[in-house]
């Protein structure tokens, strides 16, 4: 079975994309799935949050892979993490320049797809963490992916900018990646005690219906602390509510995948 490739995207910053990519990837790896996370955000928060700040293979980081004249062997860019079963292709700051440099390259929107395709036989899940914009890097993520996971804050302005994101997904489907589906919308930094969080999550569920994950990620300080230790929350404090919420999200996805698998073979 080829890996499922999931892009984590929302052009808003600070909604929990990177936190979700790291903790969901780590939770699936601990469930003995083979997982690769690819950092395509020039802020490189996934890379540092998983303990690989400033590290790369001799080939370089995702920047060199994306901007090379001919598509290189992507396996040469993969690093192991301290989490067994979790590998990462790291990013660094210079990735900022990639958006401009890629413009003149052939198939500029499909570069990441060509790279990731090489590795789908070796993993069960590939996550792509994207930057807070709808530029060429995020577009590459969406074109490379089977599905998109959209983290959203349970806050008043959560739905602002949603139309733009939805129309980008439609454009990608219409041209570059007809099969792109929504993996799910994930409510993050939820504070169940406030009416506002409740009201906003109701609105998001009305809009996206069954596409919203049952699992809701609470606001939890441990999730904010873990990356400064270079660890996913499950290894930093496995009893924290944040760590448990991401384990529950991983279970929800594994469960859905096994149902789909059973339907395919019945």
Nearer to ligand ADP, 161 or 224 (CB): 224
Please tell me whether residue 18 binds Mg ion under the rule CB under 5 A.
yes
Q: By CB under 5 A, which span of 28-36, 38-46, 148-156, 222-230 interacts with Mg ion?
A: 38-46
Distance of CA 91 to the CA centre of its chain: 14
Nearer to Mg ion, 46 or 71 (CB): 46
CA dist., res. 182 & res. 180, Å (int): 7
Q: Which of residues 67-96 bind ligand ADP (CB under 6 A)?
A: none
Please tell me whether residue 17 binds Mg ion under the rule CB under 5 A.
yes
For the beta sheet containing 35-39, the strands, ordered from the edge strand earlier in sequence to the opposite edge, are 79-80, 86-89, 35-39, 125-129, 4-8, 147-153, 181-190, 212-218
Given candidates 219, 231, 232, 250, which one binds ligand ADP under the rule CB under 6 A? 219
What is the C-alpha radius of gyration for the chain, rounded to an integer number of angstroms? 17
Please tell me whether residue 232 binds ligand ADP under the rule CB under 6 A.
no
Q: Mapping DSSP to helix (H, G, I), strand (E, B) and coil, where does residue 35 land?
A: strand
Please tell me whether residue 217 binds ligand ADP under the rule CB under 6 A.
yes
Distance of CA 46 to the CA centre of its chain: 9
CA dist., res. 71 & res. 110, Å (int): 10
Please tell me whether residue 45 binds Mg ion under the rule CB under 5 A.
yes
Nearer to ligand ADP, 68 or 166 (CB): 166
Q: CA triplet 199, 201, 202: central angle to 5 degrees?
A: 65
Q: By CB under 6 A, which span of 10-18, 66-74, 159-167, 231-239 interacts with ligand ADP?
A: 10-18
Judged by beta carbon distances under 5 to 8 A according to partner kind, the member of Mg ion, ligand ADP, none in contact with residue 11 is none
Closest C-alpha to 111, from 171, 165, 181, 64: 64
Q: Minimum Å distance from CB 184 to Mg ion?
A: 18
Please tell me whether residue 42 binds ligand ADP under the rule CB under 6 A.
no
Q: For 179, phi and psi rounded to 5 degrees?
A: -85, 0
- Number of Cβ within 10 Å of residue 195's Cβ equals 7
Q: Minimum Å distance from CB 242 to ligand ADP?
A: 6
Given candidates 47, 61, 87, 188, which one binds ligand ADP under the rule CB under 6 A? 188
Whether 149 and 20 have beta carbons less than 8 Å apart is answered as yes
Residues that bind Mg ion (CB under 5 A): 17-18, 45
Binding site for ligand ADP (CB under 6 A): 13-19, 45, 132, 188-189, 217, 219-220, 223-224, 227, 242
């Amino acid at each position: 079975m080829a890996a499922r490739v999931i892009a984590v995207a929302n052009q808003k910053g600070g909604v929990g994309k990177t936190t979700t990519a790291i903790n969901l990837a780590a939770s699936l790896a601990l469930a003995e799935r083979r997982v690769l996370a690819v950092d395509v955000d020039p802020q490189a928060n996934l890379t540092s949050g998983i303990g690989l700040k400033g590290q790369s293979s001799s080939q370089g980081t995702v920047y060199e892979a994306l901007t090379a004249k001919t598509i290189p062997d992507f396996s040469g860019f993969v690093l192991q993490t301290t989490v067994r079963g979790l590998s990462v292709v790291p990013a660094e700051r210079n990735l900022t320049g990639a958006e401009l440099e890629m413009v003149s390259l052939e198939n500029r929107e499909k570069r990441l797809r060509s790279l990731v395709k090489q590795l789908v036989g070796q993993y069960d899940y590939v996550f792509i963490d994207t930057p807070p914009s709808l530029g060429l890097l995020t577009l590459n993520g969406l074109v490379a992916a089977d599905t998109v996971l959209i983290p959203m804050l349970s806050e008043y302005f959560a739905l602002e900018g949603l139309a733009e994101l939805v129309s980008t997904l439609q454009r990608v489907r219409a041209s570059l990646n007809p099969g792109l589906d929504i993996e799910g919308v994930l409510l993050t930094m939820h504070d169940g005690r406030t009416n506002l969080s409740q009201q906003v999550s109701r609105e998001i569920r009305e809009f996206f219906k069954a596409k919203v994950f049952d699992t809701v990620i609470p606001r939890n300080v441990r999730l904010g602390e873990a990356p400064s230790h270079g660890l996913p929350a499950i290894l930093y404090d496995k009893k924290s509510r944040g760590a448990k919420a991401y384990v529950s999200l991983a279970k929800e996805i594994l469960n859905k995948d096994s149902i789909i698998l059973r339907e395919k073979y019945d």
